[in-house]
């Protein structure tokens, strides 16, 4: 089979039929659609089952472990295709996109994935003017170019539906980190860019539909993004540093991120008892990095006095110079 399209679903009954129609509109010849239900309590499962009855190329599996990473991983493990496309149920694909991306992978066997650009809109494709700055050029990027670029500026990272992967790439570099509630896709693609050749397709691949029902928006409301950033740094990027000995540019981004974020974590944590517990947890999270005494001492000062001026002093006059000195010895 040529292509497996994986669509995680969590209470997305409003978008089920739409997602199926957008895939069908791609006019593909050899494909399967794998819906992964992630504990939905609305009519999502019922609607998918109705599609399965009509179309034998559509499959439904259930992932009890909550999270987009776990759902995508189950879909990848069930996929029969040579290529894997991860589609978010509430997004929309531009016509002819997948066929063209398959052609790119077919004709560039040295690359592990191809990605394009995305449009963000509160409206659908039909109601959103498509930008005209696409050249349709294809450029092969060698590692670690894209990994460094994406890690250094998260604004340049596009979502999973912008990518078409060879299924073999997941065996090569691993699956999504299921411990991350947000940013598991960003973490995976940074690792992809660090380790693999990737083709950049200068075309708009999909439309990211902005709305308050999205899982990402709900998660952001429940917990400050700085806590999600910390988890991504210490659960994904720090282990990568330990395992692969990446270039200096990666180390610079990683260490600046870790040392500045730990101060912001303490500042954003309400309650003395929680801040005390957090300092102890930080030491455990960043093993094998060891904190110098004076940084530990300043973190305890932030525990006692979590005020903005002290945070600024820590970030710009303590953490930043320390990281610069540390990197000069690496």
pLDDT tens digits for 260-295?
Answer: 999 999 999 999 999 999 999 999 999 989 899 999
Q: Are 93 and 205 in contact (CB under 8 A)?
A: yes
Average pLDDT, the chain: 95
Residues 121-159 have pLDDT tens digits of: 999 999 999 999 999 999 999 999 999 999 999 999 999
For the residues 226-248, what does the mean pLDDT come to? 96
The pLDDT value recorded for residue 211 is 76
Rounded to whole angstroms, what are the CA distances from 123 to 119, 128, 229?
A: 10, 6, 29
> Using one digit for the tens of pLDDT, what is the confidence trace for 57-108?
999 999 999 999 999 999 999 999 999 999 999 999 999 999 999 999 999 9
pLDDT value of position 170: 97
Q: How confident is the model at residue 215 (pLDDT cuts 50, 70, 90)?
A: low
Reply yes or no on whether the pLDDT at 204 is more than 60: yes
- Residues contacting 245, CB < 8 A, separation 6+: none
Mean pLDDT of 46-67: 97
Residue 223: its pLDDT value, please?
A: 63
Percent over 90 (pLDDT), the chain? 92
pTM of the predicted model as reported, rounded to 2 decimal places:
0.93
Q: What is the pLDDT of residue 329?
A: 77
Q: What integer pLDDT is reported at residue 224 of this predicted model?
A: 82
What confidence tier does 330 reach under pLDDT thresholds 50, 70, 90? low
User: pLDDT value at position 240?
Assistant: 98
266, two tokens: 């303490």
Helix axes 293-304, 248-268, angle to 10 degrees: 30
């Amino acid at each position: 089979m040529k292509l497996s399209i994986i669509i995680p679903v969590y209470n997305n009954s409003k978008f089920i039929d739409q997602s199926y129609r957008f895939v069908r509109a791609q006019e593909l010849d050899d494909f399967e659609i794998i819906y992964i239900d992630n504990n939905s309590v609305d009519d999502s499962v019922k609607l998918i089952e109705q599609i399965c009855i009509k179309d034998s190329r559509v499959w439904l599996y259930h992932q009890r472990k909550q999270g987009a990473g776990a759902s995508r991983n189950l879909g990848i493990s069930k996929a029969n295709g040579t290529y894997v496309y991860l589609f978010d149920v509430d997004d929309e694909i531009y016509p002819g996109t997948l066929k063209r991306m398959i052609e790119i992978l077919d004709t560039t066997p040295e690359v592990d994935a191809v990605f394009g650009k995305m449009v963000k809109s509160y409206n659908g494709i039909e109601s959103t003017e498509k930008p005209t700055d696409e050249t349709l050029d294809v450029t092969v990027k060698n590692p670690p170019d894209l990994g460094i670029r994406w890690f250094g500026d998260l604004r340049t990272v596009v979502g999973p539906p912008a990518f078409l992967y060879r299924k073999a790439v997941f065996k090569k570099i691993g699956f999504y980190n299921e411990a991350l509630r947000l940013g598991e896709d960003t973490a995976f693609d940074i690792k992809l860019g660090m380790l693999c050749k990737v083709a950049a397709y200068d075309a708009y691949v999909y439309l990211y539909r902005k709305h308050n029902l999205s899982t990402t928006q709900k998660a952001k409301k429940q917990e400050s993004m700085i806590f999600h950033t910390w988890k991504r740094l210490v659960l994904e990027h720090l282990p990568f540093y330990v395992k692969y000995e990446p270039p200096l540019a990666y180390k610079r981004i990683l260490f600046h991120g870790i040392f500045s974020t730990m101060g912001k974590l303490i500042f954003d944590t309400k309650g003395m008892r929680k801040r005390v517990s957090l300092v102890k947890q930080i030491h455990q999270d960043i093993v094998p990095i060891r904190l110098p005494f004076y940084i530990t001492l300043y973190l305890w000062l932030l525990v006692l006095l979590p005020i903005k001026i002290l945070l600024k002093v820590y970030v710009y006059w303590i953490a930043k110079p320390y990281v610069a000195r540390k990197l000069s010895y690496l």
